[in-house]
């Protein structure tokens, strides 16, 4: 059955190793093989090269996928005029949320940046989630964003839904923040601890999300974590689909 929703996926190439999934057909084959109906995606071109071109590429991919790719808008708040224009134009496109990459764009979430404030205001007004990955994928030498900076962002903006992405060693602190902040969610793409899923469920079952990190990681391990966890059928279904479907306001959910 193809009905899971992946809340943290990527599209494009990057500097570290070759990406083999390069065409819309390749992507749809990968999604189908892993039972994923929708993938919420960030553009790697926008992370590493050009936000305008990367977001445009992702919008094109969304159309080519028949709407199965749900694009996040990636902006760099240091490019203020460009970022504000991208945010203001996003409501007219296929985008479903925002994703932020301070460790690659060279800013801190604690900085007073007008374009970041504008994005967060729009996220609150539109009900869009803001995904902030700690790392792009689980690899020891990739840059890591301090979890505490994301938690502070969620604390300062209680009306914004913030998704902790690619948590690993930081899972204990992530669970504590999840218990305390109702606007905070967590996805599972990088957490490989044996009890990771059940520990997060104990902290907030309606705010745990399937994330795979594809195309940078194979999606099967993330799905296996959920399938192997000791969960009720309702919680299992919520993590694979229901929580994300509600958050992204998918049609018919």
* pLDDT score of 92: 86
CA 242 to chain centre: 16
Q: How many domains does the chain have?
A: 1
- Is residue 253 domain-resident? no
The rounded mean pLDDT for the chain is 95
* pLDDT score of 93: 86
Q: How confident is the model at residue 2 (pLDDT cuts 50, 70, 90)?
A: low
Q: What is the mean pLDDT of residues 172-179?
A: 96
Give the CATH number, domain containing residue 94: 3.20.20.140
pLDDT at 174 over 60: yes
* pLDDT score of 76: 98
Q: How confident is the model at residue 110 (pLDDT cuts 50, 70, 90)?
A: very high
* pLDDT score of 138: 87
Alpha helices in 65-132 (DSSP H): 80-90, 102-105, 114-126
Q: What is the mean pLDDT of residues 113-132?
A: 98
DSSP H helix total and E strand total for the chain? 12, 8
* pLDDT score of 140: 80
- Is residue 161 domain-resident? yes
* Residue count of the chain: 253
Query: Do 219 and 190 meet the contact criterion of CB atoms below 8 Å apart?
Result: no
pLDDT at 253 over 80: no
Residues facing residue 36 across a β-bridge: 4
Rounded CA gap, 45 and 65, in Å?
18
Give the range of the structural domain holding residue 17, as residue numbers without chain letter: 4-248
pLDDT at 1 over 60: no
pLDDT tens digits, 22-46: 999 999 999 999 999 999 999 999 9
pLDDT at 197 over 70: yes
- Is residue 38 domain-resident? yes
- Is residue 101 domain-resident? yes
pLDDT at 144 over 70: yes
Rounded CA gap, 236 and 8, in Å?
18
């Amino acid at each position: 059955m193809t009905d899971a929703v992946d809340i943290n996926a990527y599209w494009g190439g990057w500097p570290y190793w070759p990406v083999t999934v390069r065409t819309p057909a390749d992507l749809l084959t990968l999604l189908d093989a892993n039972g994923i109906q929708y993938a919420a995606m960030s553009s790697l071109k926008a992370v590493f090269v050009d936000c305008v071109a990367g977001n445009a590429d992702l919008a094109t991919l969304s159309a080519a996928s028949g709407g199965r790719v749900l694009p996040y808008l990636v902006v760099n708040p240091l490019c203020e005029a460009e970022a504000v224009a991208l945010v203001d134009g996003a409501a007219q496109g296929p985008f479903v949320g925002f994703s932020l990459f301070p460790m690659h764009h060279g800013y801190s979430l604690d900085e007073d940046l007008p374009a970041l404030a504008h994005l967060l205001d729009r996220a609150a007004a539109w009900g869009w989630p803001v995904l902030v990955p700690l790392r792009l994928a689980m690899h020891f030498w990739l840059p890591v964003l301090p979890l505490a900076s994301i938690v502070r962002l969620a604390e300062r903006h209680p009306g914004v839904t913030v998704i902790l992405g690619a948590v690993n060693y930081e899972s204990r602190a992530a669970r504590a923040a999840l218990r305390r902040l109702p606007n905070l969610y967590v996805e599972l793409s990088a957490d490989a601890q044996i009890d990771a899923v059940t520990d997060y469920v104990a902290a907030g079952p309606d705010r745990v999300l399937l994330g795979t990190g594809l195309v940078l990681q194979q999606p099967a391990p993330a799905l296996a974590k959920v399938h192997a966890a000791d969960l009720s059928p309702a919680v299992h279904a919520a993590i694979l689909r229901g929580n994300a479907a509600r958050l992204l306001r998918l049609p018919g959910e």
